[in-house]
A and B are shown apart, each in its own frame.
Chain A
Amino acid sequence: MAVSTTWVFAEASEGKVATITLELLTKARALGGTVEAFYGGGDADTIAEQLGKFGATKVYAADAGDALQGAPVAAAMAAQIEGGNKPDLIMFGQTYDGRDVAGRLSAKLDRPALTNGVDVSADDKVTVQNAIFGGNTLVQTAFDGDGPFLALFRPKSFAAEEGGGGAAEVVAVDVPDTGLSGQTKVLDRHVEETTGPKLDEAEVVVSGGRGLGSAEKYEMIEQLAKLLKGAPGASRAIVDAGWVPYAYQVGQTGKVVKPNVYIAAGISGATQHLVGMKGAKNIIAINKDKDAPIFSIADLGIVGDVHKVIPKLLEALQAKG
């Protein structure tokens, strides 16, 4: 067996473990060997039970305090590893904090990290799979030499399933002095109120692209999402143009969504976008260019003007109540 211990970088918010962490724990369990979590928040006790349920026997708690997690958590991991507590594989989510910790640890240990993984296997070698060119090509990359190997995975690559374990044992670990690197301070957290479901958890996602023509027209997308009890999303083009915030972006640079229904309105279907949504169960595309790449993956493709089709669709849905 290529791995005897796997660490999972654990993320949580307000006492609730992030879905990506549960996905990674589930996969780590499937690789065999011992699964342990590494956590940088200050409230490890509150999540020990959830982590245990998904397979972590221990959770190393390195309290980053009010600093960003990157420098302190990477330093705490490196200190464990240098002290002989050495996993074979460390799995991170391709998330805001996951990237910070993995990047810093990679530089600290002078080891490469494989990113954007969608699968991992541990036979003779630890091999990470990722999908490139909008997901039409799969690449398998193996680590050379000995672990610990660092790998980051895209959300929704694995299904989270409980393994029935008891609460993980909380092991407090020291955060070494990180000098200037650790001199970040979170002064305040702003939670943006959203009414509908979260973009990456919604059963229906309605995304708009450049075909909308102007920022004001995005309102149609929000209305349609609301009527379908879904979440509004966006292509990179209109995020770059400043029409909607980055948080709305679906794609390689943004969120990965796998809803039951994905409606792409005025989106041509650049590879950048397809990576984030081609896992949807059903795809509806509305675009006036019949040659738009989005039609090659749509279950229902409407060749038409979004400014004509969507208002009528809204009207029809409202009439149904």
Chain B
Amino acid sequence: MQTLMNVVVCAKQIPDPAAPGELDPNTKTLKREGKLILDDSDAYGVEMGLQLADKAGGGEVTLVSMAPNSEVSGLRTALAMGAAKAILVSDPALQGTDSLATAKVLAAAIKRAEPDLVLTATESTDGYTGLLPAQLAEILGWPSITFAKHIEVSDGTAKVQRQTEEGYDEVEAPLPAIVSVTAGVVEPRYPSFKGIMAAKNKPVDEVKVADLGLSEDEVGWKGARQEIVDVSPAEERQAGEIVEDEGDAHERVVQFLEQLKVI
């Protein structure tokens, strides 16, 4: 009998990180208006999920995401890569939600998908708390292995190479489990034209916070239980000397290193 491998990938839609960020003067949180894109960091999870399902000989990738405003443009990118479907928790009440409340929402959505494995990025590019994988795992009561650089699944067990300060650890955990994936470990595929066309018709199941059995007080500003009391500019570092290379700029570098007694 075939072993199916159903993978949930948590996917975040973020403002283009190449554009300068801006804080909303009233809420003092990051402005997330305009077009959102799939967080690059999540593309590795999507690719890894597709590869694992492929290797198992069956199964599919389901995306789980949340947004205050029905945004789907980033999810379409991941669907075009090959994810089968998406669950999007879309609710205005989610505005201002912190990482713990995000974990509560995503955990409830993940339960609906009944996956064998949940993949996340190690942290999002825009919020970068890096806490979500562990919070998610604790809420679901599952094991978690963070900072994976390689994943193998066999006989209901995930075997993971986990990044450490000194190198990496070989770690295993029974499924279902949460694994966070570091960037660069697989090469995310480019969506094909066929994939992009197919993505337009793939199901995105939109649910509200209340549909998941959560109260609106647990999410958004109310759920965060912290207050941004001040925002101020940091001391700026000044630009120094600029040298246009005309074939001898390396000499200036040598001189500079000598002044600093590095050489």
Contact = CB atoms under 8 A, between A and B. Distances in A.
A305 B246 CA distance: 10
Interface in B224-263: 224-234, 236-245, 247, 249-254, 256-257, 260, 262-263
B146 A100 contact: yes
A127 B229 contact: yes
B260 A100 contact: no
Contact of A305 (B41, B165, B171, B245): B245
B143 A184 contact: yes
A272 B17 contact: yes
A192 B253 contact: no
B231 A138 contact: yes
Given A113-B129, A116-B128, A299-B241, 13 more contacts: A103-B132, A112-B98, A112-B226, A127-B229, A181-B144, A183-B143, A183-B173, A184-B145, A185-B172, A261-B257, A290-B244, A296-B239, A320-B254
Interface stretch (A1-9, A39-47, A52-60, A67-75): A67-75
B95 interface: no
A278 B257 CA distance: 18
Contacts of B263: 228, 317, 320
Contact of A236 (B183, B231, B240): B183
Contacts of B211: none
A107 interface: yes
Interface in A87-117: 94-96, 99-104, 106-108, 110-116
Q: Could you say which interface size class chain A belongs to?
A: 35 or more
Interface of B: 17-18, 20-21, 23, 28, 40-41, 98-100, 103, 122-123, 125, 128-135, 137-139, 141-147, 149, 159, 162-174, 182-185, 187, 224-234, 236-245, 247, 249-254, 256-257, 260, 262-263
Contact of A271 (B21, B146, B168, B185): B21
Chain B binding site: helix, strand, loop or mixed by DSSP?
mixed
Interface of A: 13, 18, 68, 70-71, 74, 94-96, 99-104, 106-108, 110-116, 125, 127, 131-133, 135-145, 152, 179-192, 203-204, 228, 236, 239-242, 245-247, 252-253, 260-261, 270-272, 278, 282-284, 286, 290, 295-305, 308-310, 312-313, 316-317, 320
Given A112-B98, A302-B252, A190 B169 contact: yes
5 contacts: A115-B99, A133-B21, A189-B170, A295-B239, A309-B245
B251 A260 contact: no
